[in-house]
Structure 1
Amino acid sequence: METVIDAERSHELEKTRAAMCVFSPEQIAGPYFRNDRLHRYDITEGAEGVPMELILSIVNVKTCEPIEGLLVDIWHCNAQGRYSGWSEVDPDKEALSGEIGSIPRTDEDSYLRGCGFTNVLGNCSFRSVFPGFYAGRSIHVHVAVRKLDEHNNDRHVAYVGQLYVPESISSHISELPGYAGRKITRLTNEQDEIYSEMHGFGTLMDMEWIYRGTAQERLLGTVVIGVDPDALSAHITPEDFYKDTV
């Protein structure tokens, strides 16, 4: 099941596409990428946290048109900074390496991972929870965009990036139950070396609270990602799919 985007939201996304027909900056995939092909809208699997919905809008930078039929992967940590598949890795200690497959998997959990195909509007939506943080990083969501061939081969990764959250949202949620009380200090985007390598142009999501009556129901994050669907990313290569831990 996919979310229903109302007419006003669709119009806003269309205007945003026209204004942002540029390449989105690529960034590393990190050590926790997996090729589970979990095609689903709801990726929570019971993970606790502030409810969050993400709408990713994929645009072809060569035509400024939305792209239908691309496979979009997202993965992120839970409220306490742990990734499924590596749930036993201590999020309060900085990982030694950022390469795919560099950290041995500790379990077969699959919470907060999923993929979906873009629709005719270029949109792909996910229901999740707001991520926490881990040592050395600000709050972020990983994303990869793949172009499948006529044989359903999923090794063609056109784009790999990371999505970031406005500081006003991060600072507020980090004080809530389930997120607060960590032994380490959360980094802001500006303190994060990976975000800062983009010189302030990291991919920042628009994020707002959605209300039902007077109560906050969930966070809605939207972002336009400009890609060349024929490109081949250097951050997830065909060889990466054959690593033992992926």
Structure 2
Amino acid sequence: MTDNQEPTYEGNMTRRRVVVAGGMAVAAVGAGGAAAANAFAGTRDEATAAPGAETCYPLTSEAVEGPYYIDADKIRRNITEDQAGIPLSLGLRVIDAETCEPVRNAAVDIWHCSALGVYSGYEAMGSGGGGGGGPSGGPTDVPTGTPTGTPTGTPTGTPTGEPPSGPPPGGGGGHAEPTDDKRYLRGTWRTDRHGRVTFRTVFPGWYQGRCVHIHVKVHVDGTWTEAGYEGGHTCHTGQLFFSEKAVLASAEVAPYSTSTVTRTTLDEDTIYPGNGHEGGLLYLAYDKRHIARGVHARLTLGVVPDETDGSASAGPSPSATSF
């Protein structure tokens, strides 16, 4: 499937369609927003509807939570901390797939690995289980014989789901207890009256057995307090994916270019459902000659607020740190 093709619909998934007028502008968040906006002048959007056309969003595919979820630990929009990588502005809009109305005041969680494939809270598991990780977020033990250099578009690794070593086993079918107190590249924020939320982070890297992705959860019917978000239930658990063109471009930029982990492509990944934006494939905008300047990513998530997803998580816990 090319970047500009309409998404295809496969399997028995309900095809509720959500109609939203126009496109969604993604604004830069936090300090340096103006500079970031200027950096995107002349960028290209890899998959954009025709100007002025109605954009229809089906019910977004669910995906496994994976073993590395830590609920509502940081109530914040800027989740970068001190992590190196290509600046990424991620704009999401949450829509009720039954009524086509925006879902207001929902708590949206995102979490993803560092540029070198390490999850905060699980540095001891390294990059996809490849040894321990240091404070910088990079792996410190790479198996002998691992290919080196910039990944190509035809990786030879066999997809295995979530990282294959360390508890739980590969496939993302359980939750691993955190091994440290780091929480970079994780955050929760509140949707506005239009159902929108924007996060500031870095372009994720990759680890053994998985393509480049971001995890996402949507919680509803809870209460926002000074401590954070309490109660409610999780109505959506999914994953967000990046085009091969963008990933290959990122792989030429440090620190991504220093990775020695065999990369799994989008088509090889066992979690990506292969159904385009319905399955979590992000719309991306960036300068194809200078991706290091930053990437804008956006997607509308069609959810059913009254339903509870199949993950074990009922909803985020109150946060002791809110910023």
SS of the residue aligned with 1:133?
coil
Output the aligned Cα RMSD: 2.9
Q: Residue 101 of structure 2 is aligned with which of 20, 43, 65?
A: 65
CA contact (8 A) 1:68 1:122 kept: yes
Aligned equivalent of 1:228? 304
What is the CA–CA distance in structure 2 between the aligned matches of 1:21 and 1:156, rounded to whole Å?
A: 23
Gaps of 5+ in 1: 7-11, 242-246
- TM-score after normalising by structure 2: 0.64
SS of the residue aligned with 1:169?
helix
SS of the residue aligned with 2:235?
strand
Question: Compared with structure 1, are the counterparts of its residues 220 and 199 closer, same or farther at alpha carbon in structure 2 (3 Å cutoff)?
Answer: closer
Gaps of 5+ in 2: 1-27, 38-47, 130-163, 318-323
What is the CA–CA distance in structure 1 between the aligned matches of 2:265 and 2:77, rounded to whole Å?
A: 29
- TM-score after normalising by structure 1: 0.83
Report the alpha carbon displacement of residue 210 of structure 1 after superposing the two structures with TM: 6.5
Report the alpha carbon displacement of residue 31 of structure 1 after superposing the two structures with TM: 0.3
What is the CA–CA distance in structure 1 between the aligned matches of 2:292 and 2:99, rounded to whole Å?
A: 38
What is the CA–CA distance in structure 2 between the aligned matches of 1:89 and 1:215, rounded to whole Å?
A: 29
What is the CA–CA distance in structure 1 between the aligned matches of 2:193 and 2:316, rounded to whole Å?
A: 30
Q: Which one-letter code corresponds to 1:220 in the other structure?
A: H
What is the CA–CA distance in structure 1 between the aligned matches of 2:291 and 2:180, rounded to whole Å?
A: 37
Q: Residue 190 of structure 2 is aligned with which of 104, 117, 121?
A: 117
Q: Residue 138 of structure 1 is aligned with which of 211, 235, 243?
A: 211
Q: Deviations over 1:108-166 (max 9, x none)?
A: 00000001010111110100000001110000000000013358533500000000001
CA contact (8 A) 1:139 1:164 kept: yes
Aligned equivalent of 2:275? 200
What is the CA–CA distance in structure 1 between the aligned matches of 2:71 and 2:191, rounded to whole Å?
A: 18
SS of the residue aligned with 1:159?
strand
CA contact (8 A) 1:17 1:64 kept: no
Aligned residues: 230
What is the CA–CA distance in structure 1 between the aligned matches of 2:232 and 2:52, rounded to whole Å?
A: 29
Q: Does residue 185 of the first structure (1) align with residue 262 of the second (2)?
A: yes
Aligned equivalent of 2:10? none
Question: Compared with structure 1, are the counterparts of its residues 87 and 215 closer, same or farther at alpha carbon in structure 2 (3 Å cutoff)?
Answer: closer
CA contact (8 A) 2:231 2:316 kept: no
What is the CA–CA distance in structure 2 between the aligned matches of 1:29 and 1:236, rounded to whole Å?
A: 9
Q: Does residue 47 of the first structure (1) align with residue 122 of the second (2)?
A: no
Q: Residue 33 of structure 1 is aligned with which of 50, 54, 69?
A: 69
Q: Deviations over 1:47-77 (max 9, x none)?
A: 1100110000111111112111110000000
CA contact (8 A) 1:92 1:183 kept: no
Q: Does residue 156 of the first structure (1) align with residue 192 of the second (2)?
A: no
* Deviating more after overlay: 141-150 vs 73-82: 141-150
SS of the residue aligned with 1:59?
strand
Q: Which one-letter code corresponds to 1:176 in the other structure?
A: V
Question: Compared with structure 1, are the counterparts of its residues 109 and 199 closer, same or farther at alpha carbon in structure 2 (3 Å cutoff)?
Answer: same
Report the alpha carbon displacement of residue 92 of structure 1 after superposing the two structures with TM: 4.5
Aligned equivalent of 2:56? 20
Where do 1:69-108 residues align within 5 Å? 69-93=105-129, 94-95=164-165, 96-97=169-170, 98-101=172-175, 103-108=176-181
Q: Which one-letter code corresponds to 2:275 in the other structure?
A: G
Q: Does residue 128 of the first structure (1) align with residue 201 of the second (2)?
A: yes
SS of the residue aligned with 1:180?
helix
Question: Compared with structure 1, are the counterparts of its residues 157 and 140 closer, same or farther at alpha carbon in structure 2 (3 Å cutoff)?
Answer: same
Report the alpha carbon displacement of residue 106 of structure 1 after superposing the two structures with TM: 1.5
Larger Rg: 2
Q: Deviations over 1:173-225 (max 9, x none)?
A: 01211012323221111000111xx24342100111269xx996421000010
Report the alpha carbon displacement of residue 100 of structure 1 after superposing the two structures with TM: 3.7
What is the CA–CA distance in structure 2 between the aligned matches of 1:204 and 1:224, rounded to whole Å?
A: 10
Question: Compared with structure 1, are the counterparts of its residues 209 and 41 closer, same or farther at alpha carbon in structure 2 (3 Å cutoff)?
Answer: same
What is the CA–CA distance in structure 2 between the aligned matches of 1:238 and 1:221, rounded to whole Å?
A: 28
SS of the residue aligned with 2:258?
coil
- Percent identity over the alignment is 30
Report the alpha carbon displacement of residue 16 of structure 1 after superposing the two structures with TM: 9.6
